[in-house]
Amino acid sequence: MLAIDIQNQPDRYIISIAKTAMDKDALLRLLQNLQLEQLAQKIDFDDSLLELGDEINTGWWQANKQRFINEQL
């Protein structure tokens, strides 16, 4: 038996994972990530959201870069 087996059905994928291949906590994290991915695919983001994310990241980096980079002359 394979540690991870995927069956392709007409309307779904069936994934079987051996208990020896992954502990319960890791499996729950994987399922949570799959649920987040499924929800993210339903959302229709436009490019303005990506621009906003870039602005937030740039602002955060400007405010916090001294914590990570030691700029000595």
- Residue 43 lies inside a defined structural domain of this protein: yes
- Residue 59 lies inside a defined structural domain of this protein: yes
Look at residue 72 in the predicted model and tell me its pLDDT. Answer: 63
User: Global pTM?
Assistant: 0.54
For the cut 70, the answer to whether the pLDDT of residue 1 exceeds it is: no
For residue 47, the number of C-alpha atoms closer than 13 Å in the C-beta half-sphere is 0
Domain, as residue range, for 55: 34-64
Look at residue 41 in the predicted model and tell me its pLDDT. Answer: 85
- Residue 49 lies inside a defined structural domain of this protein: yes
- Residue 54 lies inside a defined structural domain of this protein: yes
- Residue 41 lies inside a defined structural domain of this protein: yes
7 contacts 13 by C-beta, under 8 angstroms: yes
- Residue 23 lies inside a defined structural domain of this protein: no
- Residue 5 lies inside a defined structural domain of this protein: no
Number of domains in the chain: 1
- Residue 51 lies inside a defined structural domain of this protein: yes
Between 20 and 1, residue with greater pLDDT: 20
Strand partners, 5: 16
Instruction: Give tens-digit pLDDT for 9-53.
Output: 999 999 999 999 999 999 999 999 999 999 988 887 777 888 899
